[in-house]
Amino acid sequence: MPIYLNEKDVAEFLDMPTAIQALRDAFAARARNEGNVIPRTRWEFGERRLNVMGGGLATQRRFAVKSYGSSAFHVLLYSEQDGLLAVIEANVLGQIRTGAASAVASEKMAKPGAGKVALIGTGRQARTQALALSSAGLLKEIAVYGRKRDKLEAFCAKLGPELNAQAHPASSAEEAVADADIVTAATNSATPVVMASWLKAGAHVNGIGANAANRRELDPELVLKASLVVTDDIPQAKTEAAEFIDLANAGKLDWTRVRPLHEIVTGSVNRDLGALTLFKSLGVGLEDVAVASVIYDRAVASGRFKPL
């Protein structure tokens, strides 16, 4: 019989350093053709939508399906041998694994010595983006911008002690990113919130919030100027990465320029220290199965959850 793990359980059994390592291992497995991604599909039911995605790891002989509507997220974790292992509430899971994916990309793509971070957005995914970069040793100070000043100041006041670093509330997105080594956009904006002209030479950008074809949080010029353009799954990007889709349809972007994250994780990156780099994060099922396995194994090892 499968076990049921709630959001509190996930927060107990999944820490950021372990999540980052789990994703390093998962993308390395994908590079060896031992991991796979089932891209997200969006099913319409009148005014309602159900999002479904999946992934598998041959190294663990496990696979997972994630489904969610407007707010409730769940991962079903399976093993090849035993079938359904767990039903896991996955709001916290998704926040942690999305932050971990940015850290995995940034540690390969950001220039050596990077430590100044800019974060655009103060919503559900923002905090774990900062925590992940800090966990990976890539954050010494952070400037944050959000549209609502009171929420922004409260966010920074809470975030700074968690990071053991200064968290500055910026007066504009441009001010936040002006001197940043790493810029993370964590919004669901339909129009760009990070412009190429604002970035200093050699900056690395993570675009993590816009994962639908009607959202565009990054300046198209940023995509064109970047010397290295990476995403977690190219087939999924061809239906969800609006910034790429628009440019490809206009004949300005060849999809062969976009590299999958597993190539970056397992290979050497010879980056021009004066050029921009870009990671477009969409969130894929490979990430879900990797961290869900960690949560399940730790839950069972705790002795409080006993599969029958």
Query: DSSP for 248-296?
Result: HHTTS--GGGEEEHHHHHHS-----TTS-EEEE----HHHHHHHHHHHH
Alpha-carbon gap, residue 115 to 111, rounded angstroms: 10
Binned at pLDDT 50, 70 and 90, residue 286 comes out as: very high
Question: Per-residue pLDDT averaged across 91-117, rounded?
Answer: 97
Coil, helix or strand at residue 167: strand
Contact 34, 57 (CB under 8 A): yes
Angle between helices 16-31 and 285-301 (to 10 degrees): 130
Binned at pLDDT 50, 70 and 90, residue 46 comes out as: confident
Binned at pLDDT 50, 70 and 90, residue 255 comes out as: very high
Please name the amino acid found at residue 129. Q
Give CATH superfamily name and number for 99-283: NAD(P)-binding Rossmann-like Domain (3.40.50.720)
Residues 6+ apart with CB under 8 A from 70: 48, 49
Strand partners, 218: 194
Q: Chain-wide mean pLDDT for the chain?
A: 95
Residues 6+ apart with CB under 8 A from 225: 196, 275, 276
- Find, among 132, 134, 140, 139, the residue nearest to 102 by Cα: 132
Binned at pLDDT 50, 70 and 90, residue 270 comes out as: confident
Binned at pLDDT 50, 70 and 90, residue 96 comes out as: very high
What are the pLDDT digits (tens) for 131-146? 999 999 999 999 999 9
In the chain, CATH 3.40.50.720 covers: 99-283
Is residue 87 over pLDDT 90? yes
Alpha-carbon gap, residue 193 to 217, rounded angstroms: 5
CATH number of 3-94+286-301: 3.30.1780.10
Alpha-carbon gap, residue 59 to 72, rounded angstroms: 29
DSSP annotation of 200 reads P
In the chain, CATH 3.30.1780.10 covers: 3-94+286-301
Strand partners, 206: 184, 279
Residue 308: predicted pLDDT: 67
Please name the amino acid found at residue 142. I
Is residue 273 over pLDDT 90? no
Question: Per-residue pLDDT averaged across 53-77, rounded?
Answer: 95
Coil, helix or strand at residue 120: strand
Strand partners, 194: 218
Torsion on CA atoms 230, 234, 237, 238, rounded to nearest 10: 130
What are the pLDDT digits (tens) for 173-221? 999 999 999 999 999 899 999 999 999 999 999 999 988 888 899 999 9
